[in-house]
Amino acid sequence: MFKNTFLVALTLALAIGGGTASVWYALAMQDGVGAVTIGGWTAFPDIGTPDADPYSKARVAREGVLALGRAEGLTFVAEHDDSGADLQRGCSYIIDGAIPPARFWTLYAADEKMTVIDGRNRRAPALHSYEVLRRPDNSVAVSVSRHPAAGNWLAVDGAGRMFFVLTLYDTTIASSTGIANVELPSIVKSGCGNA
């Protein structure tokens, strides 16, 4: 009798624990169910629509984010540079390339809780499409570091991992047919430490 009770309890504990762990893992993964990855950037195009999968809906509920609908925009998050290394606040990066067409876009660095990382010396913690310097081909180069840089500079401070968040508002690529052919800027590490 005790053996049967123990086996039932063990089975229930493994089932509940394993189920909970698998759901937590699926929600914590940046490139989880419903994700579209382009280079180092990941987006969830269906997250603010009725077509969103249950994991995307749970992610929105857990994180308390305001999900954009298809007609409103699309958010891309990068957690790695082009070499596949995690983005670190102590390193410097160059985000270089064309931004997909959008009426307005924002770019900021976030910590692991997806909170905006404050810039140094009261520097604005984000850039947007109306303030960046552009090249003749409409592409941009943004320096992300602790130290000031010429041109477009996104200031970061602190230590630990970080993420880049690029949000495109009122963009044509938010439709399911437009996202497949999109090119996003590259993310290249330019140095670490005092660089």
pLDDT in tens, 98-133: 998 889 999 999 888 778 887 666 677 889 999 999
Residue 156 has pLDDT above 80, yes or no: yes
- For the chain, the domains span 1-30, 34-192
pLDDT of residue 195: 47
What gap in Å lies between CA 156 and CA 40, rounded to an integer? Answer: 19
Determine the average pLDDT of the residues in 17-40. 66
Residue 94, pLDDT above cutoff 90: yes
Average pLDDT over residues 17-29: 63
Q: What is the DSSP string of 7-52?
A: HHHHHHHHHHHHHHHHHHHHHH-TT-TT-EEETTEEE-TTTTSTT-
Q: CA nearest 47: which of 170, 174, 164?
A: 174
Amino acid, res. 158: G
CATH of 34-192, one of 1.10.10.10, 2.60.120.600, 1.10.490.10, 1.10.357.10: 2.60.120.600
The structure's pTM equals 0.78
Helix ranges, 29-179 (H): 54-63
What integer pLDDT is reported at residue 185 of this predicted model? 93
Report whether pLDDT(11) > 50. yes
Of the candidates 48, 41, 45, the one whose C-alpha atom is nearest the C-alpha of residue 33 is: 45
* pLDDT tens, position by position, 65-86: 666 766 778 888 999 999 889 9
**pLDDT score for 186:** 93
